[in-house]
Amino acid sequence: MGVINRRDFLTISSAFLAGSTVLGGGFVLSPYRQGEVTSLKSDKVVKTTCELCFWRCGIDAHVKDGKVFKIAGQKDHPLSNGKLCPRGLGGHGLLYDPDRLKHPLIRKNVNGKSSFHKATWDEATTLIASRLSEITEEHGPESVAMFSHGFGASFFKTLLSAYGIDTFTAPSYGQCRGPRTEAFKLTFGHGVGSPEGLDIANSKYLVLIGSHLGENMHNTQVQEFSQAIAKGCRIVAVDPRFSTAAGKAETWLPIKAGTDIALLRSWIHILIEEKLYDEDFIAENAIGLSELKKSVRDATPEKTFAITGIPVEMIVKVARDLGRYQNQALVHPGRHVTWYGDDTQRERAIAILNALLGNYRAKGGLLSQKTYPIPKYDFPKPKKSSRKFKSVYPFAGSIPSNEIVDRTLADSPESFKAWFIYGTNLIHTLGDQKSTIEALRKLKFVVAVDVLPMEITGYADVVLPECTYLERFDDLDARAYKKPYLAIRQPAVKPLFDSKPGFEIARMLSKKMGLPDLFPDKIETYLESRLKKIGHSLVELQEKGVFVNQDSGLYRSQNEKMRFDTPSGKIELVSNKLREKGFDPVPKYTQHPENPPGFFRLLFGRAPMHTFGRTANNRILGELMPENELWVNAVAGQDMKLKNGEYLYLVNQDNIKSKTPIRVRLTQRIRPDVVFMVHGFGHTDPRLKTARNRGASDADLISHLDVDPIMGGTGMNNNFVTFTREA
Ligand SMILES: Nc1nc2c(c(=O)[nH]1)N[C@H]1C(S)=C(S)[C@@H](COP(=O)(O)OP(=O)(O)OC[C@H]3O[C@@H](n4cnc5c(=O)[nH]c(N)nc54)[C@H](O)[C@@H]3O)O[C@H]1N2
Ligand SMILES: Nc1nc2c(c(=O)[nH]1)N[C@H]1C(S)=C(S)[C@@H](COP(=O)(O)OP(=O)(O)OC[C@H]3O[C@@H](n4cnc5c(=O)[nH]c(N)nc54)[C@H](O)[C@@H]3O)O[C@H]1N2
Ligand code: SF4
Ligand SMILES: [Mo]
């Protein structure tokens, strides 16, 4: 359970679809019986976009008798290429989830007890408008923050910024990719992007630092990973755990957790000392080589072995191999990189290594991508705020969500009074649950827009049920990618229950909030007007699903003069911007706390069939993996008298106990000083009838955060757990 073998994980396909509509426990999602699905003919196929994660693959939703019975990968969409990951295939498990939010809810206090009451849309939106008006009149629009994750947030952002609110934050920054973005910006002048601009398919030598591709199931990236493997790409997986990717690798380096910067510095040292880096590329395009060389002189393989536990000869071998493959070698920048609080520096080390390899805009390397050209809609200019939120972290390019929590808890006139939350389950997402909950309790007003009764909705004053991605239009998707594309999300079926598309909710709110002309009457009018500007029509895009441009200028030509968007116009191996603000201009290794006796470092990650907590209640995907397990090294576990398969509670360094027990899995595939679990389980909201009490939540145990002083991200990997059998 939880691990798929070498063969399975690359079959991103529709193989298990046949069984996917009928589930255990007699729960039937569609009117069709098991086995029938493959032979069914659809009445129509709707070309739209997946939202079971944030990759947004193109999907074909097959509809019969007004029901979605099958979801397949769209052939022409560059992110799916006709294939989907297991989650995308099971998206109708969300659409037909009987536990979905069905109508707006309003919290009412009766005789000192607060509970949710069913409300009409008119009541709910009137209440939101009047509470926001009271709060902004008293404290200014600067006292309201919006948290969001997901594509559907766009019209809510338009609405709130037109209203004068300009504090927007997403956990995909401070709890995920932020350090990577800032480190690559500091080095190359631009971030890595999402979807990432990496040429994995053409890579000849790929080093993964944690990034557990194959469990981290971003569709196109895994497709490229399998192409690379088929073409003989040599892979090095650096991970305290034998991940699925490690199972595909030539070399697994079971590094001591938290010591990656030391390893990366040693590779930089060897590449420079042995002149294995791309000398011409660096001479032409980078600054700071001699200072870099000096700064990493102490990172000898011998010292690095003592820190990381990686044998000297392995450190040297990988460095030499990296040098040998130079332009076609890639050190993957990772994605969820908020680990130890020095994450921007670790990402800087990764960026520097890639620069030394000269793989920038080279086949198999790091790419810069383009967007499909389409002008924005002419919304009225948002009001300028007089007191714009300013982060205390000098390189926070976006607002770290945890900083909004801190600022809400602070006793200052500038503290936040209301949160508008769209599509993010902050209770399981931000770490340091106690502070998040305290902040939620302190706020005067909380709105949550969600599809499910997730934990966060329990803290809201008003809960708005959005319909799922299979029941709505959203904005046009035109993110930068290797092949610039423009894709549509459109409804396959009408919204179920009394749920509504985000656009309609935002439009309804705009009328109540004194902005009656902000949005056009229908989203179709909005989409049509944007498409018309580029000589296309909505009907055309609805039929095709996606417009794709050919890739152009992905690779640099010989002797091409490049300019980078950095102060020097060059790649900055040494960052004076960091130096000016008092940070190390070249990444240094600092030691992280060791396990207290009897405790294990808690690590966490992904499973192919789940996205965080958002799929745990999905009957189709839940069938594939109903609960998470705790990976414990077999020898270390036996020393502690743990039995394989038994259920245990976890207790962390702050004496916080997991709310639910987790099943132990003793395995040789993990270092003895760490344990690992998949994030997204251990839900406790009784309204989540399938997910409730299944597995345990890592988030409950992440009470300690190491905040990155450079950009404010929250390192979560310095938490430690031990076991108890007591409930
Ligand atoms: N199926 C599925 N796929 C997903 C998602 C999902 O929810 N489900 N979420 C998507 C999102 S938003 C993101 S950000 C990505 C995240 O995916 P990644 O960026 O791949 O996530 P990581 O946290 O880097 O990877 C976790 C791995 O890092 C290892 N690790 C932990 N600590 C250390 C350390 O100190 N050093 C090293 N070298 N390794 C360590 C863990 O053992 C684990 O194998 O996945 C994306 N893809
Ligand atoms: N402990 C711990 N914390 C983490 C991580 C971890 O691995 N462990 N991972 C980090 C990473 S990489 C990331 S990116 C973040 C992700 O954190 P979140 O974005 O908070 O991810 P989810 O927990 O899936 O919460 C998504 C919420 O959106 C709702 N939702 C789903 N679809 C829709 C929709 O169409 N409309 C609306 N309105 N709502 C919808 C879901 O029901 C759910 O409540 O978490 C970060 N925090
Ligand atoms: S990677 Fe999977 S879940 Fe994410 S958008 Fe693509 S098909 Fe959907
Ligand atoms: Mo993420």
pLDDT band at 164 (very low <50, low <70, confident <90, very high): very high
Q: Do 188 and 319 belong to one domain?
A: yes
pLDDT beyond 80 at 19? no
- Which of these, 517, 453, 452, 524, lies nearest to 488 by C-alpha position? 524
> What is residue 513's predicted lDDT score, i.e. its pLDDT?
98
Atom from ligand 2 closest to the CA of residue 429: 47
Give the pLDDT score at 41: 86
Asked if the structure places residue 57 within a domain, the reply is no
> Are 568 and 715 found together in one domain?
no
Query: Which residue's alpha carbon is at the smallest distance from atom 5 of ligand 3?
Result: 56
- Give the residue numbers spanning the domain of 634: 600-724
Return the DSSP state at 384.
Answer: P
Q: Which amino acid is at 478?
A: A
Residue to substitute in 10, 16, 52 for testing ligand 3 pocket (most ligand atoms within 8 angstroms of CB): 52
Paired tokens of 205: 């030598």
pLDDT at site 447: 98
β-strand pairing of 418-422 with 445-450: parallel
Residue 520 has pLDDT above 50, yes or no: yes
Q: Which of 212, 267, 720 to mutate to test the pocket of ligand 1 (most atoms within 8 A of CB)?
A: 212
Give a yes or no: residue 134 inside a domain.
Answer: no
pLDDT of residue 9: 32
Question: What's phi and psi for 45, nearest 5 deg?
Answer: -120, 120
Contact 456, 425 (CB under 8 A): yes
pLDDT value at residue 388: 85
Q: Which pLDDT score is estimated for 31?
A: 37
Q: Are strands 44-49 and 58-64 parallel, antiparallel or unpaired?
A: antiparallel
Task: State how far the Cα of 460 lies from the Cα of 606, in Å rounded to an integer.
Answer: 28
Instruction: Write out the DSSP string of 295-316.
Output: HTTT--HHHHHHHH---HHHHH
Here the CATH number for the domain that contains residue 612 is 2.40.40.20
Cα(678) to ligand 2 centroid in Å equals: 14
Mean per-residue pLDDT over the chain, rounded: 94
Residues 569 and 697 in one domain: no
Indicate the residue among 575, 608, 635 that finishes a domain.
575
678 lines ligand 1 (CB under 6 A): no
Nearest residue by C-alpha to atom 10 in ligand 1:
216
Q: Are 518 and 162 contacting, i.e. CB atoms less than 8 angstroms apart?
A: yes
At 11, is the pLDDT very low, low, confident or very high (cuts 50, 70, 90)?
very low
Structure confidence by residue, pLDDT tens digits, 427-456:
999 999 999 999 999 999 999 999 999 999
Is pLDDT of 20 > 90? Answer: no
Does any domain span residue 376?
A: no
Q: For residue 215, what is the DSSP state?
A: T
Beta pairing class for 662-667 and 600-605? unpaired
Number of structural domains (the chain) is 2
319 and 241 in a common domain: yes
Same domain? For 297 and 353 the reply is: yes
Q: Is residue 463 part of a domain?
A: no
Q: Where are the alpha helices (DSSP H) in 212-259?
A: 219-230, 244-247
Cβ–ligand 2 contact at 679 (below 6 Å) = yes
pLDDT in tens, 632-655: 999 999 999 999 999 999 999 999
Mean pLDDT of 50-66: 97
Average pLDDT over residues 165-169: 96
The pLDDT of residue 34 is 41
Residue at 239 is within a domain = yes
Asked if residue 106 is part of any domain, the answer here is no
Same domain, 630 and 567: no
**CB 218 near ligand 3, within 6 Å:** yes
What confidence category does residue 25 fall into, taking pLDDT thresholds of 50, 70 and 90?
A: very low
Q: How confident is the model at residue 383 (pLDDT cuts 50, 70, 90)?
A: confident
The answer to whether residues 715 and 340 touch, using CB atoms and an 8 Å cutoff, is yes
We report the CATH number of the domain holding residue 294 as 3.40.228.10
Q: Is the pLDDT of residue 5 over 80?
A: no
Q: Does the CB atom of residue 705 touch ligand 2 within 6 A?
A: no
Q: Are residues 567 and 697 in the same domain?
A: no
Show Cβ contacts of residue 304 under 8 Å, excluding neighbours closer than 6 positions: 262, 263, 265, 266, 310, 312, 315
In short, whether 334's Cβ falls inside 6 Å of ligand 1 is: yes
If you average pLDDT over residues 369-397, what whole number do you get?
A: 90
